A and B are shown apart, each in its own frame.
Chain A
């Protein structure tokens, strides 16, 4: 075979490997869509999306997904309330105040938080954080949304802080110097110049963090309970979309039954939500890159 033909074949093969990622996305959409379609043959989409009772595993079956969505939103909101301010403050400190040596030591330690397996966080939430909270919140159930929410916030904090810090460090130093020249303090420069200039990058970090929180599974499967409940009360057991998928997967649910299909329908909803957030985040980061490129 001529060298030229060989080169041509190799390039095609490499392209195929790269294209596998597109096939993965297509595969995800196809697998979810097929089972969701079957599911929607038996349950109307209106009942699924607007129903307020989720009891597919009981004799009296209802397929309203809202309690699961509410559980997901509740835990994610708590996580974001923790991770966003703390992550941005950490980023401000590391990017505007910390000496270089301190940064070099602290950043890898902070990254460890992102590398801890989520099942470990689940254990921590259930056996440490919940009992700790119960000492001053006596009404708190053993399973609740608060404790996994706080721990999840800890988990996504490094994501928020490292992406925000990248965005802040990309702000040209000229802007900082201009601000100092006008007599601004470091805090004024950080809050009124650097953070606004890095705003789209920080927003992208927030959105990615929200998407991570919505899709997080093991912390809530371990520490939040398995009771789908339409509530905003963080002290009682709830169930998230991801925890429901785990709950059904653990049982022996035969393929082709409607219970089996519910996990794909819930998965489809989860995929649509996170994919939408990811697209917005990517778009924001692209825009941000253009601003200071």
Chain B
């Protein structure tokens, strides 16, 4: 009897897992079934259009790439610097404890709140307008907690003997960090950055809130350009009642997922190379 109950419980808990995985399968299948036929080279190279058949994602794809590249440029140095301070300098001070607590909380603030911050601070107060720069700055703030947390983990994997060896040779603290610790931690830092950016590239709500346009027929050509991104273009198509636009949305999602997969693949390659180097 007890054995039966145990087996039953095991089956119930396994089926919870199976249901979740099946739902993921249904999601992937649904999007492929709806969007695969719409995918073509012209879908990638065409810009938005009122005709569903002529519409493409070129402008949105370029917008996403501009915004994410700029987000990375901003989040990487600041995030790494913050992580170095917390991990190598101030980990025991009260200020550092407070900053840590604050970062943990920021990581759980809804992304749309960052959108309101971006709207009030970057778009209005700093006068950046609804530009690529304002969008990237908003997403950089959103990505920072992730970059900081992953960089700290990467720094923690560097053995202390490396630091001590460097000190013993007369290096200062910063020389040790810059010449020894950071190069060793670099693959981990980059992996964390790519994962943070792959989350940011799927963000829709904060960019809608700062006023990124839903219909924009050109790709950005500077950081001051108005812009749209892939997820917003998908949202725009989903919101229309016609089936043809729903197909466009599914095809747009496929492009977005391909972009995400590429970024994740790069992260995995970087991590593997690091692990192989670590073993030798």
Contact = CB atoms under 8 A, between A and B. Distances in A.
A140 interface: no
Interface stretch (A39-47, A51-59, A171-179, A244-252): A244-252
B145 interface: yes
Contacts of B30: 124, 127-128
A290 interface: no
A278 B105 contact: yes
Contacts of A154: 20, 23-24
Contacts of A122: 235, 238
Given A246-B205, A249-B211, A282-B101, A17 B81 contact: yes
Interface string A81-108: 0000111011011100100000000100
B137 to A, nearest CB: 11
A267 B113 contact: yes
Given A22-B99, A128-B27, A250 B13 contact: no
Contact of A31 (B6, B24, B117): B117
Given A18-B85, A86-B20, A154-B23, A250 B214 contact: yes
A92 B11 CA distance: 11
A90 B133 CA distance: 42
Contact of B13 (A22, A31, A90, A281): A90
Contacts of B214: 250
Interface in B134-160: 141, 144-145, 148
A10 interface: yes
Given A22-B102, A222-B239, A271 B113 contact: yes
Interface in A213-239: 214-218, 221-222
Interface stretch (B49-57, B218-226, B250-258): B250-258
B207 to A, nearest CB: 9
Contacts of B21: 106, 109-110
A14 B82 contact: yes
B78 interface: yes
A123 B24 contact: no
A112 B19 CA distance: 15
Interface string B104-141: 11101111111111011100100000000000000001
Contacts of A86: 16, 19-20
A271 B89 contact: no
A77 to B, nearest CB: 17
Contact of A92 (B13, B172, B173, B264): B13
Given A185-B6, A218-B204, A245-B116, A93 B90 contact: no
B181 interface: no
B10 A186 contact: yes
Contact of B6 (A32, A109, A186): A186
Contact of A116 (B14, B27, B120, B235): B27
A128 B116 contact: no
Q: Is the interface of B mostly helix, strand, loop or mixed?
A: helix
Nearest to A13: B81
B82 to A, nearest CB: 4
Contacts of B265: none
Interface string A265-289: 0010011001100110110000000
Given A21-B103, A127-B34, A217 B112 contact: yes
A208 interface: yes
A126 B27 CA distance: 12
A196 interface: no
B253 A120 contact: yes
Contacts of B174: 6-7, 10-11
Contacts of A7: 172-174
Contacts of B211: 249
A157 B21 CA distance: 11
Given A27-B121, A90-B20, A217-B205, A20 B82 contact: yes
B234 interface: yes
B194 interface: no
A119 B78 contact: no
Contact of B202 (A22, A119, A157, A214): A119
A73 interface: no
23 contacts: A15-B89, A17-B81, A18-B99, A21-B103, A24-B117, A24-B141, A27-B121, A86-B19, A90-B13, A93-B14, A117-B231, A118-B205, A123-B31, A123-B253, A127-B250, A211-B108, A215-B111, A222-B235, A245-B209, A267-B116, A270-B113, A274-B113, A278-B105
Interface of B: 2-3, 5-6, 9-10, 12-14, 16-17, 19-21, 23-24, 26-27, 30-31, 34, 77-79, 81-82, 84-86, 89-90, 95-96, 98-99, 101-106, 108-117, 119-121, 124, 141, 144-145, 148, 172-174, 198-199, 201-205, 208-211, 214, 231, 234-235, 238-239, 246, 249-250, 253, 256-257, 260, 264
